[in-house]
Structure 1
Amino acid sequence: MSGVDDRRRAAAHVFVGSEELGADGVIALSDDTQHHLSRVLRLRDGVVISVCDGAGRWRLATVVGERQAMRVEANGDIEIEPFPVAPLTLATAMPKGERLDWLVQKVTELGVDRLQLLDADHSVVRWKSSEVDKKLLRLKRIAESAAQQSRRTFLPEVLPPVQALEILEGAAVAEPGGRALTATDRMVAIGPEGGWSSKELAVARDRVTLGHNVLRTETAAVAAATLCVVADH
């Protein structure tokens, strides 16, 4: 096995700090990660997992012992993956309720490098300033879990909401009648269910289509991420 095949075939993929990853022998795990491996996944002695720092560095490790006595020992060299030369940014208005959680999970699995949340003119969901840190932490945890499941070596950035007009000059907005997405589109913006305002459309760098049908915000986000990833490969 080599490269991505090692991670795909490993029994689990977990994130640790850079210092922990570089340790010889036993790799220290957080309590939550230890619980996940021993109690949720119920990994057995001798099982191989991959361990990553979320910044492109990872290595294989072996589970030794079980349950409370479980530990993880490094059994391979540290591999390094370069950060994408042209990272993919998805900027999106926020859908209601758990639909935002689902959006974050799925675009992380697909490979979005940066997720920029937006307050658009027609947005229904807007966070109070007192809620931003708590809500953002929740989304980052969802992204980390999705990155573990999909064996990513880079954790995506999840950025707090900004006014859409601040970023649309550099983005291609999803809008009916636009052109097809290409590999050069590295920032795509998804509007709220009420659509973009005329002011927002006027400042957008370009317009791209996601098909003939009207999509929910979270569906449009997944469609855009998928088309961008496919175009890039």
Structure 2
Amino acid sequence: MSNHSFVIDAQQGRDASVGDILELDGSEAHHAVAVKRVSAGEHLDLLDGKGLRLTVEVIGTAKDLLSVKVLRRAEEAVSDHPVTLVQALSKGDRDLQAVESGVELGVLSVRPWQADRSIVRWNAAKVDKAMAKWRAQVRSAQKQSRRAYEPEVLDPLGSKELAKAIAADTANGALVLVLHEQAAESVARRVQSWLADARTGQEIIMIVGPEGGISETELQSFVDAGAQPALLGQHVLRASTAGPAALVLIRHLIGEI
């Protein structure tokens, strides 16, 4: 069984060497001691969210305080082709379900999208609270999957702003896929064709629409900006399922799983 994972301050992790004794406090220490009930002698993984993994041994616990000894440190490489999930806001927390699964499956960043047909609407008063909820979901999924990288939650965009972002991304060599049930080409063919000329570091961006689908106006504006419609099988998937399903296929094609 893999070690329980907890997130630490990036600076604390960067300064740590094998053999060092670290003391952790705050919410993560409380979760380890009071919820997970870790005890002396157990091995844990401490993650800084930026690729660092410290394997440590617990040497002491107290209320909201965890003392550990560093056994190993490892720097995990970022993907040659990082994947971003642009997820339309959806009812019933299906957008958050997609984010959770996407993080567990290896996406490196997520972006909320206020689509024309999104039933859920984020007005100015809701944005901060909603973004905090997305970040909490990302952090939880990161720890659940024992990932050394914590995906970034990018600023939410409306459709017009997203089209501008697509134009900038494709100009830098990114592959932007709009998952759409009427696309002529499959996700696999789009990715394979792009990989033939892609350079290390160029990213793949997946755009997933809301329950009501992507409007024709949105689709055309995204295509005009450089995005490519892509078909993910013969069935129409839920907003919570499409992105994670495409992500598994993409990571397989780029040789990561």
The percent identity for this pair of structures is 29
2:180 maps to 1:187: no
Match of 1:19 in 2: 11
Cα-to-partner distance string for 1:71-104 (whole Å, 9 max, x where unaligned) = 2323234321222232101111111133233222
Cα deviation for residue 133 of structure 1 reads 1.4
Match of 2:246 in 1: 224
2:59 maps to 1:64: yes
- TM-score (norm. length: structure 1): 0.87
Kindly tell me the number of residue pairs found equivalent between the two proteins: 225
Cα-to-partner distance string for 1:171-190 (whole Å, 9 max, x where unaligned) = 21111132222344811111
- TM-score (norm. length: structure 2): 0.80
Cα deviation for residue 52 of structure 1 reads 1.4
Cα deviation for residue 109 of structure 1 reads 0.4
Match of 1:177 in 2: 182
| Aligned residue type for 2:213 | G
Q: Matched residues in 1 for 2:25 and 2:115: separation?
A: 38
> Structure 2 matches for 1:1-233, cutoff 5 A?
9-10=2-3, 12-21=4-13, 22-23=15-16, 25-68=20-63, 71-168=66-163, 169=166, 170=170, 171-178=176-183, 179-182=185-188, 183=191, 184=195, 186-203=204-221, 204=223, 205-233=227-255
| Aligned residue type for 2:206 | V
| Other structure's SS at 2:6 match | strand
Contact 2:109 2:153 in 1 (8 A): yes
Cα deviation for residue 67 of structure 1 reads 4.8
Contact 1:20 1:28 in 2 (8 A): no
> More displaced, 214-223 or 159-168?
159-168
Q: Matched residues in 2 for 1:177 and 1:104: separation?
A: 24
Contact 2:86 2:206 in 1 (8 A): yes
| Aligned residue type for 2:56 | A
RMSD of aligned Cα (Å): 2.1
| Aligned residue type for 1:198 | E
| Other structure's SS at 1:177 match | coil
In structure 2, runs of 5+ residues without a counterpart are 171-175, 196-202
| Shift in CA distance, 199/227, structure 1 to aligned 2, threshold 3 Å | same
| Aligned residue type for 2:38 | L
| Other structure's SS at 2:220 match | helix
